[in-house]
């Protein structure tokens, strides 16, 4: 996907902003509106929208290191914010921010404060408070924007596919139950295995760690009391799903006690069932999953 024309538009926007050594968000909004820059989304591609948005974000972030003038760096920050706020997507695409990018933001806020430009740190704090960043460990100088976006897209697509497959699988089981199949055939199902709780717990723990590091870095240059709770939240999605799996197992035990069935009894019925119709069941299941 060739995004050179979009990046050129961003270059021209930030250069016009920096020509007069502008320094405020109001100045950026004036330039943005005069160029009718929100129309940049009218020419957006019909596919790979994650790559499209993260590429625009990454190009704006590339202006923020201290190798550029302060006006250009502030222009990159304001452009990043305006791109996020004016995007037509619902829900909006969050901004991927590595720990290296976060340090760049911290340095920019510090340099702006030294020059008496308080709006930069206030804007960064607002962006953190609204949780518009998606924190990660991969730094911009360690991976290209395309590789970063591809990793994000693959991860998101994998989660969607797992959820979709699990939904199909549960619907498939429900259909079998309604067809008067042996209910004990399904009672042995291990929800932990079905939902890949180990993988989900690992991902959620890594993201929680990244958020904590991000807040700690931001606290060095600004007041983060209003958003500190984000990193102090002790409940992560992996724990929530694990609890659901535990509840599932507990409900199965209650069912066993009330019905007089037990896991050993269920296993015996499962073996009998497999002898009668297991081949057909497995074939049907294999065909269903191969379609996803």
- Per-residue pLDDT reduced to its tens digit, 216-236: 766 776 665 666 665 565 666
Element (H, E) at 153: helix 145-178
Rounded to whole angstroms, the Cα distance separating 166 from 160 reads 10
Cα angle 217, 215, 54; round to 5:
90
- pLDDT of 86 reads 94
Q: Which two tokens stand for residue 37?
A: 């820059």
Within its chain, how far is the Cα of 194 from the centroid? 22
What's the farthest any 2 CA atoms get from each other in the chain? 82
Retrieve residue 153's tokens: 């897209």
Query: Does 91 sit behind a cis peptide bond, omega within 30 degrees of 0 on the bond before it?
Result: yes
- Spatial distance between the Cα atoms of 102 and 124, rounded to a whole number of angstroms: 10
Residue in 28, 33, 37 with CA at minimum distance from that of residue 6: 37
Region of 180 (left: φ > 0; alpha: ψ -120 to 50; beta: rest) is left
pLDDT along the chain (292 residues), means of 10: 91 94 91 93 91 93 93 96 94 89 91 93 91 73 51 59 61 53 51 59 71 71 64 62 72 65 48 50 54 47
What's residue 116's pLDDT? 93
Verdict on whether the full-model pTM lies above 0.95:
no
d(C-alpha 101, C-alpha 151), whole Å:
17
Residue-level pLDDT at 260: 57
d(CA 17, CA 80): 13
69 membership: H or E segment, kind and range: none
Positive or negative CA dihedral for 100, 106, 107, 109?
positive
Q: What does the pLDDT read at residue 134?
A: 86
What's the pLDDT at 126? 92
Burial 133-145 (b: 16+ CB within 10 A, else e): bbbbebebeeeeb
* Residue 142: strand pairing partners: none
């Amino acid at each position: 996907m060739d995004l050179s024309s979009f990046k050129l538009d961003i270059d021209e926007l930030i250069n016009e902003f920096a020509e007069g050594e502008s320094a405020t968000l109001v100045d950026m909004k004036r330039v943005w509106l005069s160029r009718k820059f929100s129309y940049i989304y009218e020419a957006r591609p019909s596919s790979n929208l994650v790559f499209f948005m993260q590429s625009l974000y990454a190009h704006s972030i590339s202006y923020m290191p201290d190798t550029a003038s302060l006006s250009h760096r502030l222009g990159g920050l304001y452009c990043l914010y305006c791109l996020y706020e004016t995007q037509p997507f619902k829900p909006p695409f969050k901004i991927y921010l590595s720990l290296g990018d976060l340090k760049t933001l911290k340095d920019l806020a510090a340099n702006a404060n030294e020059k008496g430009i308080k709006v930069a740190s206030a804007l960064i704090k607002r962006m953190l408070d609204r949780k518009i960043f998606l924190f990660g460990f991969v730094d911009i100088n360690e991976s290209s924007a395309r590789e970063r976006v591809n990793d994000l897209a693959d991860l998101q697509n994998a989660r969607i596919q797992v959820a979709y497959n699990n939904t199909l699988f549960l619907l498939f089981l429900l259909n079998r139950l309604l067809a008067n199949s042996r209910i004990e055939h399904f009672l042995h199902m291990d929800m932990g295995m079905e939902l890949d709780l180990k993988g989900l717990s690992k991902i959620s723990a890594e993201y929680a760690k990244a958020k904590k590091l991000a807040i700690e870095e931001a606290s060095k240059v600004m007041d983060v009391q209003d958003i500190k709770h984000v990193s102090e939240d002790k409940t992560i999605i992996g724990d929530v799903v694990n609890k659901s799996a535990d509840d599932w197992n507990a409900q199965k035990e209650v069912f066993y006690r009330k019905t007089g069935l037990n896991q050993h009894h269920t296993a015996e019925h499962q073996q009998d069932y497999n002898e009668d119709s297991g081949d057909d069941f497995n074939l049907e299941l294999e065909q269903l999953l191969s379609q996803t």
